[in-house]
Amino acid sequence: MGNILKTTVILSAIAGLAAGVLFLINFLLLKFLVIFALFILAGAGIIIYLKKNQIVGILTIQDGALIGAVSGFISLITAATVFLPINYIIELFTRHYKQTLSFTDLSYSFIISIIMLFFVALVISAPFNAISAMIAAYIYEKIEDKPFDFQSHLEIEQDD
């Protein structure tokens, strides 16, 4: 599972990088679609990619939830890491502010932004992506041919 998580983190970072670059395009519908993809479809998309390229074998629903949560968290953090500094630099050169902020005000707003980003990534993006990846793993579990297992969990517990 560790190798799969490394692959998931790398794929999530690539998806977050692409989303961060797409956020820079000032088109509202595109931003909405990218947010929708980051908050809901990133986990399922990574499950589908892993299955199509045969990187993973049979996934359980719990594996899908773990991959989805990791991919949702990493992709949102990466997208924000790419988007926020570049957007700040663009806004610095294109707009003239009438009110200047002191360094302490800027550092407090930066710290609050980081806290809010981690909160949104943990509370919104990770669970929604876990659910979508669980659904994708469940669908793959139902359509795949699994080897027949003669020992169920109930039989193992009765032998003890």
pLDDT in tens, 140-155: 988 877 666 544 444 4
Quick one: pLDDT at residue 144?
A: 78
**In this predicted model, what pLDDT tens digit does every residue of 35-77 receive, in sequence order?**
999 999 999 999 999 999 988 888 889 999 999 999 999 999 9
Contact by Cβ (8 Å): 136, 64: yes
> What pTM does this model have?
0.80
Between 2 and 46, name the one with better pLDDT.
Answer: 46
* HSE-CB for 36 with a 13 A CA cutoff: 6
The residue to which tokens 């359980």 are assigned: 60
